[in-house]
Amino acid sequence: MVVLVTGANGQLGQSIQFIAHKYPNIQFVYTDYQEMDITNFENCQSVFAVHKPQFCINTAAYTAVDKAESEVEKAHLINAVGPENLAKVCKEFDTVLLHISTDFIFDGTSTSLSMTNGYKETDIPNPQSVYGQTKLDGELAIQNNWEKYFIVRTSWVYSQFANNFMKTMLRLASERDTLSVVHDQIGTPTNAVDLAEVLLKIIQSCHAELVSVSPNNFGVYNFSNEGICSWYDFAKEIFQQNAISINLNPIPTEAYPTPASRPAYSVLDKTKIKKVFHIEIKEWKDSLKECLTQLKR
């Protein structure tokens, strides 16, 4: 079975490469800009023609959330036109498309949600940032062009690879005695390696027909680690697990203004993905521990 991965140099792309050895029945084809620019339709067509993948995992994205506010066209091209190109090419080659989306498609303002397990796949999106809007446009472009897709929405992705919040906190702790982190944005961290495992589990399930590849199973799914925290809690746990002593101050969002506004509450309800694919999800603190262990190796 051939699985083509886009954006392979990013943190999710590298996480897939990190666990690929566990899937000897899969022949992975890794591509980033140089091999396959998802914004170039003909480029995608010619790469698909060579490899004829049964599955394509699109991890390629424009992920600079704040910069997107001033680079609207570029963000739209990569996050919306790119997925549209892939959906069309996947249709041409009868390839199942797995695409990653984000909690930033929600506005995070619903107070009633805090009483539940979080946003469901069926909740109405209302992005508050250019990044969130372009990611939603990407979801819609896929849905309008190809029926064999899995869109997996996730949140607060970190890993031992590339740049992310966890690595930023560790770097800042080595430079400063005091740090302030927002305490009123609530969500769930996601170890990219756990996300990679789930994507490959979906592929294996489909391939083995454990989950029949029917229109009922294609669609939108949520995935993050288990548990709920604020960015402040996340930072505190990173420092605790590393035995780093630092003055950590909880601050409100107003005290840390950013070009893009972020959802105040973006916990994702994972009931659907757990039920359909029979997966168990790790608690975020346990997964963080595993990630930090890998980072120290």
Give the nearest distance from C-beta 28 to ligand NAP in angstroms: 16
For ligand NAP, the closer of residues 157 and 198 by Cβ is 157
- Catalytic residue selected from 62, 119, 131, 232: 131
Could you tell me if 86 and 46 are in contact, meaning their C-beta atoms sit under 8 angstroms apart?
no
CB-based contacts of 32-35 (< 8 A; 24+ apart in sequence): 32/6, 32/7, 32/8, 32/60
Rounded CA gap, 288 and 240, in Å? 11
Q: Compute φ and ψ for 250, nearest 5 degrees.
A: -75, 130
For ligand NAP, give the closer residue by CB, 135 or 148.
Answer: 135
CB closer to ligand NAP out of 32 and 184: 32
Tokens 């490899």 belong to residue: 51
Q: Write the CA distances from 49 to 7, 88, 95, 170, integer angstroms.
A: 19, 13, 11, 43
Annotated active-site residue 221? The verdict is no
d(CA 10, CA 16): 10
Closest-by-Cβ residue to ligand NAP is: 10
Q: How far apart are CA 73 and CA 78, in angstroms?
A: 9
Minimal distance, residue 113 CB to ligand NAP, in Å:
18
Of 146 and 223, nearer to ligand NAP (C-beta) is 223
Q: Where do contacts with ligand NAP occur on this chain (CB under 6 A)?
A: 6-7, 9-13, 32-33, 37-39, 59-61, 63, 78, 82, 100, 102, 135, 154-157, 162
Number of H helices, E strands in the chain: 10, 12
Active site residue ranges: 131
